[in-house]
C-alpha cells in the first residue's frame, strides 16, 4: 500500500519533522516502498498469537523508594541551548 | 436547568503519590525547590537514560484499589503516550494503557435525596507527571521547570455515572478523603498534588446515546469544579437548544470570569500512538502481596462513618463531616472516650466551635492548641453543670488562646454557673420589679417576652445563671 | 612474539603487558601514532582521546607495578560513539548531537574502564545506529580497510574498521539487527552480540529498546570472551537487564568441539545468497564437522518475515526514543524559531539525516491510529512466531549456523537508492535480535579479496556454545588472522 502526500505530511507533523521541499517527493516514494515491503506481514497466520513486547520472559524489578540523586543543575545545563534563571527556554507558549 | 436534559459527568482525578523519590528515578519529590534542581538525568530524558520503577508506588496503587473494592491486576504494563510539549522531556509520558494496575472499582456518595448512590471507578493507573511551564516574565519565551517531571501520579477515572455538579463534588471529596486516609497522597490542591478534569455532556432524558462531551481542565478546588461544571452544562444546553452542536474539545475554566473557554494548545486531536514501553517489563504482583497490603489498610471513611452512627449514636450527617478527615475523626474519638458528656455533644462542639477556630486560624486539627483531653475536660464541666453551654464558648476561646485548662480558666475568670435557686430567685425578683410594663404585657399573653426577662437575668448575673433554672423560676414567678 | 604491537590480539597484548615486554604507555603511543596516520583515509574515529588515553595508560602501568591490575589493565580499545562517555563528545554519528558532551559514563564504559582498559577514542557509526553500511553518518562514511572504495558495513562500521586496520585490538559496538555481526563479517573481524539483557543498556543511546544490545568487535573469539566477561552482568539502572550468572567465558572456550550439534537453516541457502559466500560458509561447516561437530538441518519457517517484522518494530520504538531530541535541553537547536512548533520541526529536521527521518516516520505511521493493529501488533505477533521457531530448533541443536551476510562488502554508494535493498543485508542476523538470542560472526574466507563471515546463533544465555564453536573454528582455520595489505 503506497502512501500519498497528505499522509506523509500528517506523519511528518505528528513526528515534528520538517521536510525540505526537495526532500519531500523522495520521502513519499521511499516511505511507500517501505510500507509496501512490510505489508507482507499481513500474510502471516497469527490468530491467538500473543504479541511479543520483550524477547525474554522477565518481570519488572522494583527499586526501594529512596532519594539517590543530588542537584547537578549547573553542570547539566551546560548542554542546554537556551536557559534563563535555571529554566529551559522555548518560544512562548499560549495556552 | 431545563428539566428535559440529563447531565452526564465523568471525572478524571490525578493524585500525586506521596513517595520520597520519583516513580522512575531517585530524584526527590519535595515541593517548591528552585527550578530544575530536582530533575535528574532520567527526568530530563537524557540520551541513554532508563526508567526503574519505585516499589512504593505499586504498594500505594494496590492500597487504593483495595480501598475502592476494585480488581488489582496481578500483571500490569506501562505504555508510552507519545506527544510533543516542552514540559514532557522524553516526548512521551510513561503511563498505563491496556493493562492498568487497578480496574472495576466503586465508591458510594449520598445523592440529592439522601440515598446512597454507587459511582463506578473504571480504572486507576500509574503514570509520571510532567514538568511545569512559566509563561510570564520571560519576554518572548516560556520557561520550563522539570522538577515535577517524573513525580508519581495515580490517575483515577470514574464511570460517567455522575448526574450533577453536586454529585461530582461529592465524589471528588470522597476520593480526596480516601487517598488521605490511605496515606498515599496529601491531597494538596494548591500545590497541585490533587487535580481534577471533568468530562461533561448532556443528552435528552431517556436517550441512551451519550452526548458529545467536552473536557474541562484546570479545576483546582471543589468550588471551581462545581462552578465550572454548572457553567459548562448551561453552555451546552443553550447551544443545543439554539440548534447548535457541542464540539468535542478541551476547555479551561477561568475562575475570574467564571466561564470555560477552549484551550488553544489542545485544539488538534492528538494521536498518542500508545504502545508498551520496551524499557520496562510487565509488573507482576501475586495474591500474597495483595493480601499483605490489604492487612495494612486503615478503617476506611465509609466504615468509620457507619460505625460512628452505630457506636456513638450521632447524626449521620455529623458522622460524615467528622470522618471526612481521619485526624478529625481520631480527635473526636479521643474526646468521646475521655469525656462524661454524650457523643452528640462532642460532635456538636468539634464540628462547631473547634472547626470554626481551626478554619479561622488556618490550621489543621493536628495543630489544635486545645488537645482532645483538654476539650474533654471542658465538655465535662458542661455536663456537670459547672458552666452553661454559652459560657463554655468563652472558656474555649480562652483555652485556645493558651490560658490553660477548662478548670483553670473557669477558676481564674470566675465563670462558675450560678445554680443556687435562692440566688437566682433574688435576681428574678429584681428583674420583675424593675420591668413592670413588660410583666403586664407578658401576663396579658405576649409569651415571647420570656426571652427578654431571661436576657435581663443573664445580664445581671454576667451570664452565669443556669439558663434552665432561670426559665423555670421566671415562669413560676410570672404566673 | 616478535610481532609488532598492533599485530597482536588483545589476549596476546595482555600477556605481553603482564610479562613486562612493553608498557601500556608504549602500546598506547604506538596505536595513537597509527591512528594519526590512518584515520583520515578510513574516517573510522570521530573523536580521538589521546590525552585521556595516555593518562589512563600511565595509571594502568602504575597499578600493574603496585600489583593492583584489573583484568584489562592497560589494554587499549575504542568505543562506538553511541556509548555515553563522561566529559567526552558523544555524537551518535549525528548532527543532532554534534556538540553533546555527556555528563556521565555508560555502564559498558564504566565497567571496561574499571577493569583497567584505556580508551583511544569514539568510533564513527551510522546515524543513531540506523544503517548497514556506515553511509548515513553525518560525519562521512567509513571506508573498509580491505578496499577503501567499499563499505565496512554498519552501523558499527567505525569500530569494525578500527579493529580490521589494527588501530586498536578491540572496539565496542551495538547490534539491533546485525550492526556488530555484519560489519565484522565485511571486515574480516569477529563480532559478538550477547543475549538480550546480558549487557546493560544504561548509557547506550537507544535506537530500538527491545532489540539493542551492546557487544564487541575483536580479532578473535578469545578476545571477545575476555571482554564479555567484564561487560556482562546485571545492572540495576537498566530494568531490562537480567540477573543471570556470568560464567568464565574464556575458560569455556577450550571445551571440546566433539558432539556439538550445529543446525543449518534450510531457508538460508536460497537465491538471495551470493554463491561464493555460500560456498565459503559450507566449507567452514565441513571443517567443523570433520572435527567432531554434528551437522543437522533445522527449519525456521517464519524466517522470511523477519526483515519486514524488524522494519515495523525497530522504527516504532525508535520513533518514540528519538522524540527527546527537540532542541530544548540538549542537542541541535534551530536558529530563531518562530514558535514552539517551528522549534521542534526545524531542530529535528536539520538535526536528523534522511534515513533517521524515514525510520521515525515509518515508526510513527505503524503506531498511528488505524494502523497499529495491522502493523505494530501484527509484527509483534510474527516476532513471537519467529522466536518460537528458534526455541523449537534449539531443542535439537546447540547452535544454528549460516552466512552472516548475503554478500561480501559492497561499494560505497551502491545500495543507497532503494532502502529495501539495504535492509535485506540483515536478513540472516535480524532473527537473533527479534528473539533476543546471542550471535557471533567469525571470518570464514574471502570472495574476490573481500572477507565473509560465518554466523553462529545460540539459545538464550548460549554465549558459551557460540564462542566455543567460533574459537575452535578459528584454531582450525586462521582467516581471522588475515590482515588487509595496507595495515600490516
Mode of pairing for the β-strands spanning B283-284 and B75-76: antiparallel
Neighbours of A28 (CB within 10 A): 19
Residues in chain A: 95
Closest-CA residue to C167 (of C114, C227, C216, C123): C123
Which band of pLDDT confidence, cut at 50, 70 and 90, is reported for residue C422?
Answer: confident
Q: What pairing do the DSSP bridges indicate for beta strands B214-219 and C450-457?
A: unpaired
Residue contact A11–C387, C-beta within 8 A: no
Distance to chain C for A27, nearest Cα, Å? 7
Residue B452 and residue C417: Cα distance in Å, rounded?
104
Do the Cβ atoms of B26 and A66 come closer than 8 Å? yes
Beta bridge partners of A88: A83, B144
Across the interface, whether the CB atoms of B48 and C84 are under 8 A apart is answered yes
B71 Cβ contact list (under 8 Å, min separation 6): B65, B102, B103, B104, B105
Tens of pLDDT, residues C165-174:
999 999 999 9
Whole-number Cα distances in Å, C169 to C2, C163, C254, C484: 17, 6, 22, 14
Reported as a single tens digit per residue, the pLDDT across A16-70 is 999 988 889 999 999 999 999 999 999 999 999 999 999 999 999 999 999 999 9
- Contacting residues of C for A83, CB less than 8 Å apart: none
Suggest the residue from A4, A14, A16, A88 to mutate for an interface test with chain C (most C CBs closer than 10 A): A16
Chain C: closest CA distance from residue A82 (Å): 7
All structural domains of chain C: 5-257 (3.90.1300.10)
Q: Give the nearest partner residue to A53 out of B57, B271, B276, using CB atoms.
A: B276
Quickly state the pLDDT bin for C1 (edges 50, 70, 90): very low
Between the alpha carbon of residue A58 and those of residues B54, B168, B188, C339, the distances in Å are 17, 41, 37, 44
| Partner-chain residue, chosen from C317, C340, C376, that has the shortest CB–CB distance to B86 | C340
| Residue B153 CB coordination number (10 Å) | 24
Residue matched to cell numbers 560464567:
C247
% residues pLDDT > 70 (chain C): 100
Per residue in B152-192, pLDDT (tens digit) is: 999 999 999 999 999 999 999 999 999 999 999 999 999 99
Q: How far is A76 from chain C (nearest CA, A)?
A: 7
Shortest CA distance from B89: residue in chain A: A88
For β-strands A62-63 and B53-54, DSSP reports them as parallel
DSSP secondary structure, A48-91, as one string: TPPP-SSSS-----EE-S-------HHHHGGG-S-EETTEEEEE
From B40's Cα to the closest Cα of chain A, the distance in A is 7
Interchain pair A90, B144: CB under 8 A? yes
Give per-residue pLDDT as tens, B228-264: 999 999 999 999 999 999 988 899 998 889 899 888 6
Mark which residues 73-102 of C lie under 8 Å from B by CB: 83-84, 90, 92, 97, 100, 102
Please give the average per-residue pLDDT across B327-335, as a whole number.
96
B34 at interface of A, judged by CB pairs closer than 8 A? yes
Is the CB of residue C154 less than 8 Å from the CB of residue C134?
yes
Query: Cβ of C210 and A55 within 8 Å?
Result: yes
**What's the distance, CA B431 to chain centroid?**
50
Instruction: Please tell me which residue of chain B has the smallest CA distance to A73.
Output: B37
Q: Which CATH architecture has domain B421-477?
A: Orthogonal Bundle (1.10)
- What is the value of ipTM here, to two decimals? 0.96
Do C312 and A38 lie within an 8 Å CB cutoff?
yes
Bridge-based pairing state of the strands C45-48 and C118-123: antiparallel
- The answer to whether A93 contacts B56, with C-beta atoms less than 8 Å apart, is no
Pairwise CB contact (< 8 Å): A65 & B20 = yes
What's the confidence (pLDDT) of residue A45?
A: 94
Q: How far is CA C133 from CA C2, C274, C318, in A?
A: 35, 18, 19
3-state secondary structure of B330: helix
Smallest CA–CA distance, residue C240 to chain A, in Å, is 8
Q: How confident is the model at residue A2 (pLDDT cuts 50, 70, 90)?
A: confident
Do B323 and B342 meet the contact criterion of CB atoms below 8 Å apart? Answer: no
* Residues whose CB falls within 8 Å of the CB of residue C59, separated by 6 or more in sequence, listed in order: none
Q: Where are the domains of chain B?
A: 5-293, 301-413, 421-477
* A chain contacts of residue B135, beta-carbon cutoff 8 Å: 92-95
Rounded Cα gap, residues B380 and B387, in angstroms: 10
Going by C-beta distance under 8 Å and a sequence separation of 6 or more, which residues neighbour residue B114?
Answer: none
pLDDT higher than threshold 70 for residue C487: yes
- Pick the closest to residue C327 from B148, B42, B84 (CA basis): B84
B280 touches chain C (CB under 8 A): yes
Averaged over B429-437, what is the pLDDT?
90
Strand partners, C119: C77
Distance of CA B313 to the CA centre of its chain: 24
Structure confidence at residue B3 as a pLDDT band (50, 70, 90) = low
Distance (Å, whole) CA C409 – CA C451 = 8
Instruction: Tell me if B281 and C237 make a contact (CB, 8 A cut-off).
Output: no
Residues of C taking part in catalysis: 80, 155, 179
Question: How far is Cα B62 from Cα B285, in angstroms, rounded to an integer?
Answer: 10
Taking CB atoms and an 8 Å cutoff, what residues of chain C touch B281?
A: 239-240
DSSP per-residue codes, C95-111: STTTT-B-SS--HHHHH
Give the CA distances from residue B139 to residues A90, C42, C336, in Å, rounded to whole numbers and listed in that order. Answer: 11, 49, 14
* Cα distance between residue C185 and residue C479, in whole Å: 11
Of C307, C309, C364, the CB nearest to A11: C364
Handedness of CA B35, B40, B42, B47 (dihedral sign): positive
In the block, residue with C-alpha cell 574502564: C113
CA distance B459 to B447: 20
Does residue B469 have a cis bond before it (omega within 30 degrees)? no
Give the three-state DSSP class for B474. Answer: helix
Q: How far apart are the first and last CA of chain B?
A: 55
Which residues have CB under 8 Å from B453's CB, separation 6+?
B428, B431, B432, B435, B438, B442, B474, B478
Return d(Cα C203, Cα B253) in angstroms, integer. Answer: 43
Chain A residue with the nearest C-alpha to that of B87: A88
Q: Give pLDDT, residue B122.
A: 98
Which of residues 35 through 94 in chain A touch C, CB cutoff 8 A?
35, 37-44, 46, 49-56, 58, 60-61, 63, 72, 75-76, 78-82, 88, 90-93
Beta bridge partners of C218: C170, C190
Cα–Cα distance, B180 to B186 (Å, whole number): 6
B271, B273, B279 ranked by CB distance to C209: nearest? B279
Q: In chain A, what residues touch C419 (CB-CB under 8 Å)?
A: 30, 33-34
Choose the closest CB to C239 out of B45, B51, B80: B51
pLDDT at C301 over 80: yes
Per-residue pLDDT band at B340 (split at 50, 70, 90): confident
> A74 touching B, CB under 8 A?
no
**What residues contact B363, with CB distance under 8 A and at least 6 apart?**
none
Strand order in the sheet with B275-276: B92-96, B78-82, B275-276
- The answer to whether B220 and B252 are in contact (CB under 8 A) is no
Tens digit of pLDDT for each residue in C307-346?
999 999 999 999 999 999 999 999 999 999 999 999 999 9
pLDDT attached to residue B268: 60
C65's enclosing H/E stretch is helix C50-65
Whether B48 sits inside 8 A of C326 (CB atoms) is no
* Distance between start and end Cα atoms, chain C: 15
Residue C271 is predicted with a pLDDT of 77
Q: Quick check: B48 and C206 CB within 8 A?
A: yes
The pLDDT of residue B1: 45
CB contact B279 to A (< 8 Å)? no
- The answer to whether the CB of B59 falls within 8 A of the CB of B110 is no
Q: Evaluate the CA torsion angle B425, B431, B433, B438 in order and state its sign.
A: negative
d(CA A86, CA B37) in angstroms, rounded, equals 8
Residue with cell string 555508560:
C106
**B58 to chain C, closest Cα gap in Å:** 16
In the DSSP assignment, the letter for residue B352 is: I
Mutation target for B interface from A15, A70, A73: give the one with most B CBs within 10 A.
A73
Contact residues on chain B for C367, CB-CB shorter than 8 A: 82, 273-275
List all chains that touch chain A, counting a touch as 3 or more CB pairs closer than 8 Å.
B, C
Q: Closest Cα of chain B to A88: distance in Å?
A: 5
Between chains, do C361 and A76 touch, taking CB under 8 Å as contact? no
Condensed to tens digits (0 to 9), the pLDDT of residues C148-166 reads 999 999 999 999 999 999 9
Share of chain B above pLDDT 70, in %: 98
Contact C383 A51 (CB under 8 A): yes
Question: pLDDT above 90 covers what percent of chain C?
Answer: 95
Amino acid at each position: 500500500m503506497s502512501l500519498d502526500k497528505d499522509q506523509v505530511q500528517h506523519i511528518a507533523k505528528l513526528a515534528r519533522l520538517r521536510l525540505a521541499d526537495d526532500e519531500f517527493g523522495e520521502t513519499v516514494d521511499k516511505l511507500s516502498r517501505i510500507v509496501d515491503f512490510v505489508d507482507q506481514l499481513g500474510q502471516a497466520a497469527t490468530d491467538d498469537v500473543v504479541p511479543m513486547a520483550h524477547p525474554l520472559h522477565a518481570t519488572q524489578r522494583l527499586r526501594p523508594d529512596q532519594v539517590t540523586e543530588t542537584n547537578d543543575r549547573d553542570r547539566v545545563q551546560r548542554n542546554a541551548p537556551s536557559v534563563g534563571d535555571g529554566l529551559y527556554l522555548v518560544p512562548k507558549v499560549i495556552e | 436547568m431545563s428539566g428535559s436534559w440529563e447531565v452526564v459527568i465523568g471525572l478524571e482525578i490525578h493524585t500525586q503519590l506521596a513517595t520520597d523519590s520519583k516513580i522512575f528515578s531517585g530524584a526527590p519529590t519535595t515541593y517548591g525547590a528552585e527550578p530544575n534542581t530536582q530533575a535528574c538525568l532520567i527526568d530530563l530524558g537524557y540520551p541513554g537514560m532508563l526508567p526503574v520503577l519505585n516499589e512504593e508506588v505499586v504498594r500505594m496503587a494496590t492500597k487504593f484499589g483495595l480501598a475502592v473494592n476494585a480488581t488489582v491486576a496481578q500483571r500490569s504494563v506501562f505504555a508510552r503516550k507519545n506527544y510533543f510539549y516542552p514540559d514532557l522531556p522524553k516526548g512521551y509520558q510513561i503511563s498505563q494503557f491496556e493493562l492498568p494496575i487497578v480496574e472495576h472499582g466503586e465508591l458510594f456518595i449520598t445523592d440529592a435525596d439522601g440515598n446512597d448512590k454507587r459511582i463506578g471507578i473504571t480504572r486507576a493507573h500509574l503514570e509520571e507527571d510532567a514538568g511545569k511551564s512559566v509563561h510570564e516574565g520571560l519576554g518572548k519565551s516560556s520557561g520550563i521547570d522539570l522538577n515535577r517531571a517524573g513525580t508519581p501520579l495515580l490517575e483515577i477515572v470514574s464511570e460517567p455515572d455522575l448526574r450533577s455538579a453536586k454529585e461530582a463534588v461529592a465524589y471528588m471529596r470522597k476520593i480526596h478523603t480516601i487517598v488521605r486516609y490511605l496515606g498515599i497522597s496529601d491531597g494538596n490542591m494548591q500545590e497541585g498534588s490533587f487535580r481534577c478534569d471533568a468530562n461533561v455532556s448532556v443528552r435528552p432524558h431517556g436517550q441512551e446515546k451519550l452526548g458529545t462531551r467536552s473536557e474541562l481542565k484546570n479545576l483546582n478546588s471543589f468550588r471551581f469544579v462545581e462552578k465550572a461544571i454548572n457553567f459548562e452544562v448551561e453552555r451546552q444546553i443553550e447551544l443545543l437548544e439554539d440548534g447548535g452542536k457541542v464540539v468535542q474539545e478541551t476547555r479551561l475554566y477561568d475562575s475570574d470570569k467564571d466561564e470555560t473557554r477552549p484551550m488553544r494548545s489542545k485544539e488538534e486531536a492528538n494521536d498518542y500512538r500508545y504502545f508498551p514501553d520496551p524499557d520496562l517489563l510487565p509488573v507482576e504482583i501475586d495474591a500474597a502481596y495483595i493480601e499483605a497490603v490489604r492487612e495494612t489498610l486503615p478503617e476506611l471513611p465509609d466504615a468509620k462513618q457507619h460505625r460512628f452512627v452505630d457506636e456513638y449514636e450521632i447524626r449521620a450527617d455529623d458522622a460524615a463531616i467528622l470522618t471526612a478527615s481521619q485526624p478529625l475523626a481520631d480527635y473526636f474519638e479521643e474526646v468521646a472516650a475521655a469525656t462524661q458528656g454524650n457523643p452528640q455533644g462532642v460532635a456538636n462542639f468539634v464540628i462547631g466551635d473547634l472547626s470554626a477556630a481551626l478554619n479561622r486560624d488556618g490550621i489543621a486539627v493536628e495543630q489544635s492548641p486545645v488537645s482532645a483531653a483538654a476539650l474533654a475536660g471542658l465538655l465535662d464541666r458542661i455536663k456537670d453543670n459547672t458552666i452553661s453551654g454559652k459560657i463554655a464558648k468563652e472558656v474555649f476561646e480562652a483555652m485556645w488562646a493558651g490560658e490553660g485548662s477548662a478548670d483553670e480558666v473557669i477558676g481564674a475568670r470566675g465563670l462558675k454557673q450560678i445554680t443556687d435557686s435562692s440566688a437566682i430567685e433574688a435576681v428574678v425578683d429584681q428583674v420583675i420589679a424593675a420591668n413592670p410594663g413588660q410583666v403586664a404585657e407578658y401576663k396579658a399573653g405576649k409569651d415571647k417576652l420570656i426571652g427578654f426577662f431571661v436576657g435581663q437575668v443573664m445580664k445581671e448575673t454576667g451570664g452565669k445563671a443556669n439558663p434552665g433554672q432561670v426559665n423555670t423560676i421566671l415562669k413560676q414567678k410570672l404566673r | 612474539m616478535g610481532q609488532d604491537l598492533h599485530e597482536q590480539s588483545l589476549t596476546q597484548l595482555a600477556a605481553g603487558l603482564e610479562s613486562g615486554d612493553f608498557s601500556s604507555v608504549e602500546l598506547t603511543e604506538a596505536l595513537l601514532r597509527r591512528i594519526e596516520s590512518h584515520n583520515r583515509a578510513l574516517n573510522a574515529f570521530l573523536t580521538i582521546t589521546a590525552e585521556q588515553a595516555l593518562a589512563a595508560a600511565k595509571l594502568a602501568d602504575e597499578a600493574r607495578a603496585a600489583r593492583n591490575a584489573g583484568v584489562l589493565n592497560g589494554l587499549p580499545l575504542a568505543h562506538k560513539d553511541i556509548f555515553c562517555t563522561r566529559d567526552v563528545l558523544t555524537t551518535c554519528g549525528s548532527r543532532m548531537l554534534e556538540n553533546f558532551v555527556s555528563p556521565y559514563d555508560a555502564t559498558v564504559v564504566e565497567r571496561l574502564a574499571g577493569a583497567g582498559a584505556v580508551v583511544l577514542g569514539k568510533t564513527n557509526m551510522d546515524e543513531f545506529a540506523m544503517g548497514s553500511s556506515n553511509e548515513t553518518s553525518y560525519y562521512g562514511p567509513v571506508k573498509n580497510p580491505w578496499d577503501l572504495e567499499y563499505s565496512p558495513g554498519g552501523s558499527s562500521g567505525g569500530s569494525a574498521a578500527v579493529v580490521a586496520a589494527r588501530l586498536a585490538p578491540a572496539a565496542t559496538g551495538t547490534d539491533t539487527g546485525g550492526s556488530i555481526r555484519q560489519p565484522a563479517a565485511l571486515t574480516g573481524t569477529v563480532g559478538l552480540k550477547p543475549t538480550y539483557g546480558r549487557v546493560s543498556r544504561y548509557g547506550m543511546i537507544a535506537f530500538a529498546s527491545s532489540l539493542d544490545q551492546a557487544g564487541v568487535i575483536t580479532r578473535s573469539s578469545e578476545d571477545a570472551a575476555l571482554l564479555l566477561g567484564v561487560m556482562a552482568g546485571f545492572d540495576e539502572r537498566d530494568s531490562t537487564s537480567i540477573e543471570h550468572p556470568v560464567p568464565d567465558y574464556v575458560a569455556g572456550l577450550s571445551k571440546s568441539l566433539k558432539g556439538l550439534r550445529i543446525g543449518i537453516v534450510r531457508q538460508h541457502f536460497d537465491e538471495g545468497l551470493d554463491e561464493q559466500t555460500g560456498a565459503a560458509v559450507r566449507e567452514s561447516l565441513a571443517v567443523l564437522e570433520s572435527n567432531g561437530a554434528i551437522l543437522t538441518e533445522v527449519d525456521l519457517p517464519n524466517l522470511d518475515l523477519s526483515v519486514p517484522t524488524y522494519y515495523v518494530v525497530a522504527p516504532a520504538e525508535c520513533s518514540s526514543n528519538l522524540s527527546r531530541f527537540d532542541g530544548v535541553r540538549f542537542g541541535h537547536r534551530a536558529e530563531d524559531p518562530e514558535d514552539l512548533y517551528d522549534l521542534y520541526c526545524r531542530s529535528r529536521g536539520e538535526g536528523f539525516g534522511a534515513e533517521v527521518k524515514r525510520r521515525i516516520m515509518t515508526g510513527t505511521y505503524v503506531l498511528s491510529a488505524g494502523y497499529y493493529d495491522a502493523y505494530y501488533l501484527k509484527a509483534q505477533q510474527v516476532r513471537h512466531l519467529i522466536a518460537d521457531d528458534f526455541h523449537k530448533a534449539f531443542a535439537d541443536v546447540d547452535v544454528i549456523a549460516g552466512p552472516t551476510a548475503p554478500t561480501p562488502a559492497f561499494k560505497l554508494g551502491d545500495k543507497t537508492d532503494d532502502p529495501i535493498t539495504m535492509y535485506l543485508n540483515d536478513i540472516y542476523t535480524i532473527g537473533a535480535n527479534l528473539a533476543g538470542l546471542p550471535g557471533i560472526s567469525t571470518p570464514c574466507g574471502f570472495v574476490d579479496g573481500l572477507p565473509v563471515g560465518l554466523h553462529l546463533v545460540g539459545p538464550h544465555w548460549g554465549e558459551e556454545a557460540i564462542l566455543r564453536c567460533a574459537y575452535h573454528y578459528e584454531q582450525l582455520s586462521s582467516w581471522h588472522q588475515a590482515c588487509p595489505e595496507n595495515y600490516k
